[in-house]
Structure 1
Amino acid sequence: MSILKIFQKLPDRVIRKYLKALINRSDRDAIYLEIGDRTSGDTVIYPDDDLLAEMGEKGWKFTRKNGEAY
């Protein structure tokens, strides 16, 4: 899954917070490297936001930390 598709699933407030970190303000090409193995059951918790991401059989699933869907 591309980073764009992942961001499209996130709530607007989270996109605004993190998207600015992906803007290339230089006049040169930028390289984005994301490291991970995408193992089923892989989980990411964003401590500053009510956001939990879990890799399942159908791809990433984004929920609130209590399991409620966005």
Structure 2
Amino acid sequence: MNVHVPAFPLRGDDGQTSNFQILTRKIPQPEAVIGLVGMGYVGLAISDAVCPAGFRVIGFDLDEARKDCEGLR
């Protein structure tokens, strides 16, 4: 299966602003939602680092036991 991935930066909904520009505006104010695939040592550490700053984190892991780890919300 061939999948075309367009080059960055993509344009936002207004056709003028790139998604990169939109993201860099959202990061200083914790408006960006951070998605993590894998909630092991690295995913949990990233979550622990960005949650106190006010970012919403959505984590995914195939291991059901990870959802019971202390520190995950």
The TM tier, using the shorter chain, reads under 0.3
Query: Which structure: greater strand fraction?
Result: 1
Give the TM-score, by structure 2 length: 0.20
TM-score w.r.t. length of structure 1: 0.20
Higher normalized helix content (fraction of residues): 2
Higher gyration radius (CA): 2
